[in-house]
Structure 1
Amino acid sequence: MQSSTGKYFVGLDHVRAVAAFMVFTWHFNHVNDGHLAPAPIFPLSIFTEGHVGVALFMTLSGYLFAKLIGHNQIYALRFLTNRIIRLFPLLFVAFALTFFLQIMPSGQSIGTYLQILLRGFVTPEWPNGGWSITVELHFYLMLPLLLMIRTRNPIGLLVVIALSITLRAALWVVKGEVQSLAYWTLVGCIDQFIFGMLAFYFSHRLRRRHFLAVGTGLTLLVFMYLFDVWGGFYMNETYPTPSPVWIVAPTISGLCFATLIAWYDTSFRFESHFFSKALALVGTCSYSIYLLHFFVVFDLAQFVQKHVVDLTHTPTMVLASAICFVGFVPVAWASYRFFERPPMRFRQPYIQHGQT
């Protein structure tokens, strides 16, 4: 997808496509009255625990905006306006679909639904993936401050991450759980955004570091496998889980994803062959995939489980999800074409060039 600066990064659209597939597969795995939770299989736990795809999206946001802004500052109001223009048209479509397809049939009043939408600007209550847009908005509000810290010393951003970890640890001690804040709010997600920013600032040190990338990828896969073995997102004795793993889970995922994004973005020349174009197309409409797949993915999984193949076998589940994912891409592309792209012409430059 092309930014308001006119720049386009093919490799980052590839990353978006991977993140969208991870989230799609995570929800595809929600069958049989809840999370199917097949036995953990290395390295496929990154798909059966595909909620981590949201962490990949957020890490990518930090990296992308750091890359677009460089060592400049921004006009904060223009930046926020651009992000609203980019995100809200499709978000409103998703809200409307939720109302007609879910709220009205349930008998919930429109007044109650509107209250949820208003609270969603502050708390993660927007339905069907909209909660992550709330977290993104909170990051956008913090971005000018983070850029000021970066101007003084990029390492200062690590202090923010350290404070975030400390806060999560304190909340875990006081509340007995921190999963709900670490996953659903900026309390945890800030690590991913900042590691994404730092990965760009130090991306020159990751260029063609293939052994480091392999080690980082294996570390992430092992962590997700162990996370799955320890009970995963849902399958502990209670939800939210009292496990302290959520104190560091956002940090580990953010660091690993940031390293891999910077390595991938700087180490390869993305030729215009079919696979690269196809993957980039998926990445371009990944926002539509993310917001709209909620309306079909659960029914698709139920249909496949009932009529086609048993999804308790993890490799089969991932393969079935991939087929359904590819089938959904044309719908997402039409959504991008008619709902996402037209408002983009109203975006304006927001970078203060030459400012440090």
Structure 2
Amino acid sequence: MKGHIRRRYAGAWSVILSGARADTGKQFQKWHTVRGTKKDAERELARLIHEYETGAYVAPVHLTVAEYMNQWLNDSAGMRIATRTFERWSQLVRTHIAPGIGKHKLTSLKPAHLEAFYRELLTSGRLSGKGGLSPRSVLLIHRVLHSAFQRAVRLGMLARNPCDQAEAPRADSKEQRVLNGEQVAALLESLGSSPIYMPVLLAITTGMRRGEICALLWKDVDLERGLLWVNRTFMETAGGLVLKEPKTARSRRQVALPAVAIAALRKHKAAHAELMLQLGQSGIEERFVCAWEDGRPVPPAYVTHRFIKELRRAGLPKVRFHDLRHSYATLLLGAGQDMKIVSEMLGHADIRTTYNIYSHVSEQMQRQAADKLDSVLTNARSPLQP
């Protein structure tokens, strides 16, 4: 492999590789453009020759980042990707990635371009033009780009992934917000006959996710045995609600019900049965547990919006509906329940996920255990006392 450089115009050079194909002996040339000094062009020529000789060379692809990202989205659409995830990726490409770095040539994109892009997003990335995106949002954009560019590397369109050398912002760790036992009791009392009483009760007594609660059917609930089974979930998409399988195999699970939940579900089911009898309907087992009078499921979005209003009305701290799941786990762990059992009841794919989220509770439990041991040793007047 040989090569030479040629000046195009002030500050721009053509780097030309010349060689013969190993299989046919046919001569070829590959042209690259370098912006900078003559020394920059000579260094790029040496790098490209080295890559060619070591098998790492990638021929220039004349696609812009925007063109490639749209191609990546089109190819991803046929794969097993959740609809909501695909919609989120498409939104990020359309609103941030394409406007921000879309005009760059795919093969010319450098880590420095990405870091400048991230800084711009952090300072002025909001679509309203008022302020920047959070570090967590910019990190998500970085991960989307990394995934897309990794495919380009695998297909031989890129020699390396520019995201690997780009420093992405670190997501701020969110402080865990939970309701304590007294606050949970106050919330349930305040809800009374609210349409979200049952979703809230199920969240705080089973740790189920919002979509799992709204998708629960009566056939999934065994009140005699005090058990329910999580077999499906609702996902909100641009086209409406989609019923699908839980997010992981471990998410499909059996959950034991406490007595308070069993009693409330019995009363709730009896009311459903009475209403269906009045309407001349049958087949309650196929009806959603959380449903409107006409049998349609209560949408997850409605649960979230109504929950915010109910919290405000009850004068309770501002938490997300999903934080009831955290409250459930925290109350169980605080009561001494084993981390592995809690992980199974939450449907986490790996116990490490549970530990990472609730390690602060584990540390508190360890401190309490140490204090109990200290008390035992002190009361026993151990020779260890000073």
TM, length-normalised to structure 2: 0.24
Task: Work out which of the two has the higher radius of gyration on C-alpha atoms and give 1 or 2.
Answer: 2
Which has a greater percent of strand? 2
With a CA cutoff of 8 Å and minimum separation of 6, indicate the structure with the bigger relative contact order.
1
TM, length-normalised to structure 1: 0.26
Which has a greater percent of helix? 1
